[in-house]
Amino acid sequence: MRECEIGGVAAERERGRWSGTSNSIPFEIGTPCTLLVDDCVPVPYGDSNADSIVDLSDILCVLDGFTSVFDRCTLGGVDLDPCDGDGLVDLFDILAVLNAFSQQPVSCSAACVPPPSPSMKPDRSSFTRTGRRGRPAVATLVTERRAGRGGEFVDVDLYVTGVSDLRGYQVAIDAVGAGADEVALEKITVDRQRPDYAFRNRESMEAGDLVDGRLAVALVLGGVTSTERSYLGTFTFRVPAEASRRLRFEFRGDGSSRWVTSTGRLLDVTTP
């Protein structure tokens, strides 16, 4: 039986379902206690740490929960599948958060997650750490134009050099310049067979978000340290032929791209 807290720190929290149109939280019959509206925050499905956005932090939280680590998210927050949770964190919860990141349609309604208690570790974003020998790691893009069926395409390969203890990354790429609004993001891929892939031969999970142009990749466990230039993934854009020469591709500059260590700290990575 699951328990929930009312106004205190409980070991286990209840995740209810939130109805956006009414001021109440419906619960299954037999639910052992009642949450007040003020006790929880309505969040998008997949938002495990209740900060209103589904991003790399949520993927890392579910992977941590899979190994029974709940230092930044509650069990209720990461138990995404089935919709009302089953008290277990398993492969289906991992797939659920990856699908949520990818903005695939879900049949579950928005969740109502109690906010993390003050006793939990602060959000990862409050830490920073530099790369090896105190120098920031450097992220780079390499673009390659090619003609293909249906128009002209640009493959944008992402790299990072000099990371220390890298566990996961989230990268967002945009087309900028005249004609950028006519560019369509065709696909996001990670070629795991490339010898320079950052997580080659490691157990990792990835999700591409074609709606907002984001890629997240996370190791299930541990981190990777390398002085070499490591391949992270490829964004493929379809571009109008006449606009192709005027376009540039850049990392999105609003903190959408992040690199996280195995201890949850943010790596300081310079983007061009």
Distance separating alpha carbons of residues 238 and 151, to the nearest angstrom: 7
Member of 14, 47, 155, 209 binding Ca ion (CB under 5 A):
47
Biggest alpha carbon–alpha carbon distance for the chain: 63
In the bound state with Ca ion, the residue whose beta carbon lies nearer, of 5 and 58, is 58
| Paired sense of beta strands 137-148 and 151-176, if any | antiparallel
Q: List strand residue ranges (DSSP E) for the chain, in order.
A: 16-17, 41-43, 111-113, 128-129, 137-148, 151-176, 184-189, 204-209, 214-219, 224-239, 248-251, 258-261, 266-267, 269-270
Member of 18, 25, 49, 165 binding Ca ion (CB under 5 A):
49
In the bound state with Ca ion, the residue whose beta carbon lies nearer, of 72 and 137, is 72
Give the interface size with Ca ion as a residue count (CB under 5 A). 9
Distance separating alpha carbons of residues 91 and 62, to the nearest angstrom: 10
Minimum separation from the CB atom of position 175 to Ca ion (A): 26
50: number of Cβ within 10 Å: 21
Tell me: does residue 206 bind Ca ion (CB under 5 A).
no
Minimum separation from the CB atom of position 189 to Ca ion (A): 24
| Paired sense of beta strands 137-148 and 184-189, if any | unpaired
Member of 17, 27, 41, 51 binding Ca ion (CB under 5 A):
51
Stretch that binds Ca ion, among 47-55, 142-150, 153-161, 181-189 (CB under 5 A): 47-55
Q: Are 129 and 261 in contact (CB under 8 A)?
A: yes
| Region 70-89 residues binding Ca ion, contact defined as CB under 5 A | 79, 81, 86, 88
Q: Are 155 and 143 in contact (CB under 8 A)?
A: yes
Tokens of 68: 């029974």
Tell me: does residue 174 bind Ca ion (CB under 5 A).
no
Q: Are 125 and 51 in contact (CB under 8 A)?
A: no
In the bound state with Ca ion, the residue whose beta carbon lies nearer, of 50 and 173, is 50
In the bound state with Ca ion, the residue whose beta carbon lies nearer, of 36 and 53, is 53
Stretch that binds Ca ion, among 46-54, 135-143, 165-173, 189-197 (CB under 5 A): 46-54
In the bound state with Ca ion, the residue whose beta carbon lies nearer, of 94 and 156, is 94
| Region 6-35 residues binding Ca ion, contact defined as CB under 5 A | none
Q: Are 20 and 110 in contact (CB under 8 A)?
A: yes
Tell me: does residue 209 bind Ca ion (CB under 5 A).
no
Minimum separation from the CB atom of position 250 to Ca ion (A): 24
- State the residues that interact with Ca ion by CB under 5 A: 47, 49, 51, 58, 79, 81, 86, 88, 93
